[in-house]
Amino acid sequence: MNKIILTIIIGSGLYFLPMSYSNVSTAYAAAEAKKSIKVPAMRNRVYTQLARAQQLADEGQKLEGFEVLGQVKERIDSLNSYEKAMLWNFYGFMYYGNNDLAMAIDCFQKVIKQETIPEPLRLSTLYSLAQLTMQLEDYKQTLVHLRQWQSLNSKSLTSDQHMLFAQVHYQNKSYELSLSAVEAALVIAKHKNQTAKENWLILQRANYYELDKPVKVTQVLEQLVKYYSNPTYWLQLSGMYGEIGEEAQQLATMEAAWQAGYISKSQDIITLAQLYRFNGVPYKAAALLEEAIEQGKVVPSEQHLEMLAQSYLAAKSGQKSLPAFIKASVISDSGKIDAQLAQVYLNLEKWQLAIRSADKALSRKGINRIGDMHLIIGMSHFNLKNYDQALIAFEAAKAITNTAKAAQQWSKYVKREQGHQAQLAMLN
């Protein structure tokens, strides 16, 4: 932060004292001190004591500095308005240097209560008060000081001054006003061919979010990604593309973030896998999950293993889904995974394994379509030419509403085939 410049007028001369404290006030020029109001001059003896107090403070002797100010304060009734203002100004900076913001504010308020002081001093003190009350999160009072300062300030606001207004309006939940101030700062930056500062864009995004303008939020995030390639911004941008219905852009952004090495959290990897599935590229989802699980980036939980297996199924790679389903079955507390495994085995014509998994699913409970398991058992026995066992399974399936019709048809088919096989046996 810049150093403060205290301007002190002594007689007809002008003196500048560089302060060592942080910048809570704007520097002001000598030309600005020439106002229509007549300001009394500071006498040399007062200036000498104030300068001595400052020197002690700069040397780390703060208590001694306060003692010198106290000596000046003892004669406060003999001081003119400008001398009083500068006394309280020095006190304010001294308290600020001690991180006593409340006392600093009290002293600066005493400065502006003096009627005949240079306008630059009044302006800088009001701006200091705005910054200090901002630090204390007294945003309503901050706005009061800023408006007083702006009413006296004849210069156009700088981008940083616009942003101070923007921050205060945001904290006061005046999002439209805050947004206007941010955009004023951005216009100045653009005119100077400068890149918008990161915190400006962050505040602009926050305002659009509060105003429920997701498209605008997305546009600001695009700027943040372009100029400040923070991993968080990439993930947020991807999420916003999804919110505004641009799924292809959502996937492209998330995939670019993955390739750039910005995705490391388990949930973000899972999100990318889900996007692959949603956008019709399940094999990429499966490959991503399998690699992440192998590398320890994603925990091989039942849920994640099931997602991996289903991704392979969606990619028509039933054989590759088996290891994940088998691992998930081992750690599952229900028959849900076994039921899916039974269906995969059936599709792969692994009849004995299909029967085993379906039986396991039925014994472990926790499955919704019990009738399907009986159908799988019946079809597997049929293909193994175990007709009697197949008919027993289909009879069980008939007793369940959603599989009764299919089970009836299969029973008829098995009986015909059983009869046909019996006839062939007699002929032999």
pLDDT(311) > 60: yes
CA geometry: angle 245, 250, 252, nearest 5 deg:
140
DSSP string, 223-244: HHHHHS--HHHHHHHHHHHHHT
Please write down the long-range contacts of 389-395, taking CB distance under 8 Å and 24 or more positions apart. Answer: 390/414, 391/415, 391/418
Task: State percent of the chain over pLDDT 90.
Answer: 78
* Phi and psi angles of residue 16, each rounded to the nearest 5 degrees, phi first: -115, 125
Reported as a single tens digit per residue, the pLDDT across 205-224 is 999 999 999 999 999 999 99
Residues, the chain: 428
User: Which architecture does CATH list for 264-331?
Assistant: Alpha Horseshoe (1.25)
pLDDT of res. 428: 63
Q: Residue 341's closest CA among 307, 374, 309, 379?
A: 309
**In whole angstroms, what is the distance from residue 353 CA to residue 358 CA?**
8
Reported as a single tens digit per residue, the pLDDT across 224-241 is 999 998 999 999 999 999
User: Which architecture does CATH list for 1-115?
Assistant: Alpha Horseshoe (1.25)
Per CATH, 1-115 and 264-331 having the same topology is answered: yes
Other C-beta atoms lying within 10 Å of the C-beta of residue 177:
17
| Residue carrying the six token digits 């096989």 | 421
| Residue carrying the six token digits 């942080």 | 22
Q: Is this model's pTM higher than 0.85 or not?
A: no
Q: Domain locations in the chain?
A: 1-115, 264-331, 350-428
- Name beta bridge partners: 5: 18
